[in-house]
């Protein structure tokens, strides 16, 4: 399975914003953006003329890196969103938000999307009582997402019990039972990343 292998902190520095790829580290002074808020490489501090194409490309790269998606899969989300009714950009972000690894992250089961992707890959998550190990699995309204029963004694899940977790209104999660539910489809207002999705649509529409 293809995956991103570049250093996480370099990706944040390249995009000039926090993508929260390292979980709790991103909220501390150790965060690379706090320590070195310039693009990586020897020319990172130099002035560069930003073109319209460059601005659109950077926006696409920012979303891909934040969610850990490669180009081919990301383009498929765009094509599917274009076939749906409504605003293409918002449809695309909604599809990406409904990925199982992102839902697990939003529920607070893992500290970063990459960690949640690994949790799903290892078969620790069930959807409606059935084990699902596909991070890109699209959840639907009413789906029950839970930590597999025989995995709940693992230390990483034990520490969740009793925790108060802030999450978007389209999801709910009980940290005592380690079960959650998809209450509705995510809307544009539910996505907290600073994304200008119209730039991505303009790029793909060229």
For the segment 124-136, what is each residue's pLDDT rounded down to a tens digit?
A: 999 999 999 999 9
> Are the CB atoms for 186 and 170 separated by under 8 Å?
yes
Helices marked H in 38-122 — which ranges? Answer: 52-67, 71-83, 88-97, 100-106, 113-121
In a shared domain, residues 85 and 48: yes
In a shared domain, residues 18 and 86: yes
Task: Print the domain residue range for 69.
Answer: 8-96+191-204
Q: Over the stretch 6-41, which tens digit does the pLDDT of each residue have?
A: 555 555 555 555 555 555 554 566 555 555 655 655
For the ranges 6-10, 114-118, 155-159, 160-164, which has the lowest average pLDDT?
6-10
pTM of the shown model = 0.80
Q: What are the two backbone dihedrals, phi and then psi, of residue 174, each rounded to the nearest 5 degrees? A: -100, 110
Is 198 part of any domain? yes
User: How many domains, in total, are found in the chain?
Assistant: 2
> Are the CB atoms for 160 and 153 separated by under 8 Å?
no
Q: Over the stretch 104-121, which tens digit does the pLDDT of each residue have?
A: 999 999 888 889 999 999
In a shared domain, residues 117 and 84: no
Segment 48-63 shows an average pLDDT of 86
In a shared domain, residues 163 and 195: no
CATH number of the domain bearing residue 56: 1.10.1050.10
Q: What mean pLDDT, rounded, does the chain reach?
A: 84
In a shared domain, residues 133 and 161: yes
């Amino acid at each position: 399975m293809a995956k991103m292998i570049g250093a996480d902190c370099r990706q944040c520095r390249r995009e000039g914003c926090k993508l929260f790829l390292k979980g709790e580290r991103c909220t501390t002074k150790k965060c690379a953006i706090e320590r070195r808020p310039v693009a990586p490489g020897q020319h990172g501090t130099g002035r560069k003329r930003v073109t319209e194409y460059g601005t659109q490309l950077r926006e696409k790269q920012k979303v891909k890196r934040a969610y850990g998606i490669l180009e081919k899969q990301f383009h498929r989300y765009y094509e599917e969103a274009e076939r749906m009714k409504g605003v293409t950009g918002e449809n695309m972000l909604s599809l990406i938000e409904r990925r199982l690894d992102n839902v697990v992250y939003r529920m607070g089961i893992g500290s970063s999307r990459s960690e949640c992707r690994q949790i799903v890959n290892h078969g620790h998550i069930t959807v409606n009582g059935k084990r699902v190990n596909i991070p890109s699995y699209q959840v639907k309204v009413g789906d029950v997402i839970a930590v597999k029963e025989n995995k709940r004694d693992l230390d990483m899940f034990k520490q969740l019990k009793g925790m108060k977790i802030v999450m978007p209104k389209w999801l709910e999660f009980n940290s005592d039972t380690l079960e959650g539910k998809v209450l509705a489809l995510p809307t544009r207002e539910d996505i907290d990343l600073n994304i200008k999705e119209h730039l991505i649509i303009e790029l793909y529409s060229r």
